[in-house]
Structure 1
Amino acid sequence: MSYVPVSRRTIRRHRESERATRRLVIALSGAAALAWLLSVALSTAVRVGGYEHNLADVLHILSLVVAFGAILLVDWHGLLWLLGRRTLADIIRLDGAATPLIWGGLAGMLATGVFLNPHLDNPMTDLKLAAVLVLSLNGIMLIPLMRRLAHLPPDTPFGGLTVGQRVHLLVCLAVSQACWWTAIVIGFINAEF
């Protein structure tokens, strides 16, 4: 075991950074839950038909394509990193570029979902809405880990992470994919019937 001297100032900065990240996660989780709740509540009060509904439907699907496409790209490169075909630096850079697309697409889906006249008495719709909330919170829960990974050497392999970090990434990946596919499949089933 080696001893790496760390100054008290460095330790204090690290603790302050961890506290700031926790506060950010709490604030973003609250904001995401509030945005989701507002979207669901407004969808019960707003009824549109014809052109407005079709426009909202198209914008909803475009938002889905942007957000889910970015998710698939990040997850694919994450798999390549796991297999040793990409570096951690590649993943961090791609995640930074994709994050605005993911959150912008998700915001677009929440905004346009208000005008889709959802059937909230349908258990499938409730499951879809729950999946959207969970995937939002899941993405926010990745923030602390991604910040830690950004401080690692750029060539750190997946196997070089701690067991907890690897489990955190894989669980968040599984939850993300399960929620996205659940919401997509139910959305298209509900659109057909």
Structure 2
Amino acid sequence: MSYVPVSRRTIRRHRESERSTRRLVIALSAAAAAAWLLSVATSTVVHVGGSAYYIAVVLHVLSLVVAFGAIVLVDWHGFLWLIGRRTLAEIIRLDGAATPLIWGGLAGMLATGVFLNPHLYNPMTDVKLAAVLVLSLNGIMLIPLMRRLAHLAPNSGFGVLSVGQRVHLLACLGISQACWWTAIIIGFINAEF
């Protein structure tokens, strides 16, 4: 067994980094839940029609395309990394480039959703809105794992992850896809054109 000396300062910085990541996740989760709640609550008092409604629909769909397109790209490259066809460095770099598109598209969907006159009494709409909240929180829960992955060697494979990290990554992937597809399908079923 080998011993690699680690200074107390390094250990302290690692613990501080873990604590700051936890605080970031808590703050972002609270902000996402508040933004979601504000969007849903505001949609109950804002009612638009005519061209304003159709502009909101177009902007909502464009936001969806941007966010979901980026998600599909990141998830596809993640799958390719999982089977050894991409390097971890490529995945980290792609995730960094796609993150603003994902969150910007999601913010656009929340903002434009206010003007879509959602039928909140419809159980399918409630499921869609719950899926949007869950996918937002799920994305935030990936932050600690992505930070850990960024510290691994650039050519590390899926096999170097601990069992817990593998489960975390695959569970988040499954939840993400289930929530996105649920929200998209229900959104198009409920659409009034």
State how far apart, in whole Å, the 2-side matches of 1:192 and 1:149 are: 43
Equivalent residue for 2:119?
119
Per-residue deviation, residues 47-106 of structure 1 (Å, max 9, x unmatched): 000100000000000000000000000000000000100000000000000000000000
Equivalent residue for 1:90?
90
Equivalent residue for 1:151?
151
2:191 counterpart SS class: helix
Stretches of structure 2 that go unaligned for 5 or more consecutive residues are none
Query: Where has structure 1 moved over 2 Å in runs of 4 or more?
Result: none
Stretches of structure 1 that go unaligned for 5 or more consecutive residues are none
Within a 5 Å distance, the mapping from 1:13-92 to structure 2 comes to 13-92=13-92
State how far apart, in whole Å, the 1-side matches of 2:70 and 2:2 are: 41
Q: What is the number of residues matched between the two proteins? A: 193
2:12 counterpart SS class: helix
2:178 is the alignment partner of 1:178: yes
CA offset at residue 124 of structure 1?
Answer: 0.1
State how far apart, in whole Å, the 2-side matches of 1:126 and 1:153 are: 43
Per-residue deviation, residues 100-157 of structure 1 (Å, max 9, x unmatched): 0000000000000000000000000000000000000000000000000000000100
Q: Structure 1 length as normaliser, TM-score?
A: 0.99
Q: Structure 2 length as normaliser, TM-score?
A: 0.99
State how far apart, in whole Å, the 2-side matches of 1:39 and 1:5 are: 51
Q: How big is the alpha-carbon RMSD for the aligned residues of Structure 1 and Structure 2?
A: 0.9
State how far apart, in whole Å, the 2-side matches of 1:138 and 1:2 are: 38
CA offset at residue 159 of structure 1?
Answer: 0.9
2:41 counterpart SS class: helix
Equivalent residue for 1:99?
99
Identity %: 85
State how far apart, in whole Å, the 2-side matches of 1:181 and 1:146 are: 23
Task: Tell me which amino acid in the other structure corresponds to 1:18.
Answer: E
Equivalent residue for 2:162?
162
Per-residue deviation, residues 31-62 of structure 1 (Å, max 9, x unmatched): 00000000000000000001000000000000
Per-residue deviation, residues 3-43 of structure 1 (Å, max 9, x unmatched): 22111000000000000000000000000000000000000
